């Protein structure tokens, strides 16, 4: 019996120096995709991966389109090798490549959409910060956020039963982080981000993004696309649009997303740079095999391990 493989697409934070360079060197198809991306964006996207421009790669404005492009390239590599996804899911910015692979829009449309999202978030990203809280119960963190009255703090990501990310105003997040240690948190890790993503501080960006999305054509995905907003599949175009807009200010329910994946798929592949989602997959469902594909070499190893089970 063929096994069902989910493609998981990483979000902001998984970018790193050199990402994508080996794919472009190895594949004409990858070079074509990057050429399309650079033509659409009007800037040399791949150059951001080079060491001298690494700081620019970490800017939200550039990070999201760069991750999207490489993730789509990796997904196409997997499909050309004969591995077809039974479902797709993306962590925050990863949702857009997941929609492309699920057939909800073209590569070009998805790139234009995420480029606008990145620009709007970049423009509103000066007033806040984020921090990861490992170990402490996610429900308890959410309760503490609700009762907090010393500035804006919200849960940004329910990443796993073992990790939650908070978001909000800089001073409020710092004070809230100190308070969490009194409630059993062994550590709170400030994240190297440029804003309070997935919080009400993104409201202006959300409103502009909603207006932009009204004119974007979306098709029903040909396979399940699992929404961060609920952790369930969404097939209707208007619902997909609503979920993508809501995600800007609302939390990422990645634990629930992985619950669905584990219940309906036999394994997963992280179709993007880094190993963040593999780690979260293990933390959510240790029994679910999850493979990486962030470099050509690792992708080939993962294909060798997963392809026999898919055919």
150 is catalytic: no
Number of domains making up the chain: 2
For residue 189, pLDDT beyond 90: yes
Mean pLDDT over 83-104 rounds to 98
Domain identity same for 97 and 211: yes
Residue where a domain stops, chosen among 195, 211, 237: 195
Could you tell me the pTM of the whole model?
0.95
Domain identity same for 183 and 211: no
Strand partners, 165: 132, 157
**Model confidence pLDDT, tens digit, residues 99-146:** 999 999 999 999 999 999 999 999 987 779 999 999 999 999 999 999
Q: 184 in helix, strand or coil?
A: coil
Q: Which of 49, 71, 92, 302 is catalytic?
A: 92
CATH no. for residue 163? 3.30.70.250
Q: Which of 91, 122, 198, 243 is catalytic?
A: 198
For residue 70, pLDDT beyond 70: yes
- Domain hosting 146: range is 128-195
- Please give the share of the chain, as a percent, with pLDDT higher than 70: 98
Domain identity same for 182 and 299: no
- Please give the share of the chain, as a percent, with pLDDT higher than 90: 88
27 is catalytic: no
Measured over the CA atoms of residue 10, residue 12, residue 14 and residue 15, the dihedral's sign is: positive
pLDDT of residue 310: 52
Residue where a domain stops, chosen among 154, 173, 195: 195
**Spatial distance between the Cα atoms of 282 and 291, rounded to a whole number of angstroms:** 11
Phi–psi pair at 309, nearest 5 degrees: -85, -10
Give the tokens for residue 112. Answer: 């234009």
Residue where a domain stops, chosen among 167, 195, 223: 195
> Which has the closest alpha carbon to 64: 117, 125, 127?
117
Q: 88 in helix, strand or coil?
A: strand
CATH no. for residue 228? 3.40.366.10
């Amino acid at each position: 019996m063929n096994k069902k493989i989910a493609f998981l697409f990483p979000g902001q934070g998984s970018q790193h120096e050199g990402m994508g360079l080996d794919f472009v060197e190895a594949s004409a198809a990858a070079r074509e995709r990057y050429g399309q991306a650079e033509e659409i964006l009007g800037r040399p996207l791949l150059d951001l991966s080079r060491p001298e421009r690494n700081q620019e790669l970490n800017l939200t404005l550039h990070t999201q389109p760069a991750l999207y492009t490489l993730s789509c390239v990796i997904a196409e590599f997997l499909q050309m090798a004969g591995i077809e996804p039974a479902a797709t899911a993306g962590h925050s910015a990863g949702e857009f490549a997941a929609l492309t692979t699920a057939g909800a829009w073209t590569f070009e449309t998805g790139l234009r959409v995420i480029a606008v999202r990145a620009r709007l978030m970049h423009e509103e990203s000066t007033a806040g910060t984020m921090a990861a809280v490992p170990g402490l119960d996610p429900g308890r963190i959410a309760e503490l956020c609700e009762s907090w009255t010393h500035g804006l703090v919200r849960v940004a990501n329910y990443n796993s039963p073992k990790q939650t990310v908070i978001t909000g105003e800089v001073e409020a997040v710092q004070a809230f982080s100190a308070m969490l240690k009194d409630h059993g948190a062994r550590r709170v890790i400030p994240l190297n981000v440029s804003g309070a993503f997935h919080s009400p501080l993104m409201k202006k960006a959300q409103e502009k993004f909603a207006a932009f999305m009204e004119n974007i054509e979306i098709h029903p995905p040909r396979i399940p696309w699992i929404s961060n907003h609920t952790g369930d599949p969404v097939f209707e175009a208007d619902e997909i649009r609503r979920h993508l807009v809501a995600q800007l200010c609302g939390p990422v329910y990645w634990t629930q997303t992985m619950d669905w994946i584990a219940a309906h798929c036999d394994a997963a592949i992280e179709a993007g740079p880094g190993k963040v989602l593999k780690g979260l997959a293990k933390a959510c469902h240790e029994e679910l095999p999850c493979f990486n594909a962030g470099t050509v070499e690792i992708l080939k190893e993962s294909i060798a391990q997963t392809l026999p089970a898919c055919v």
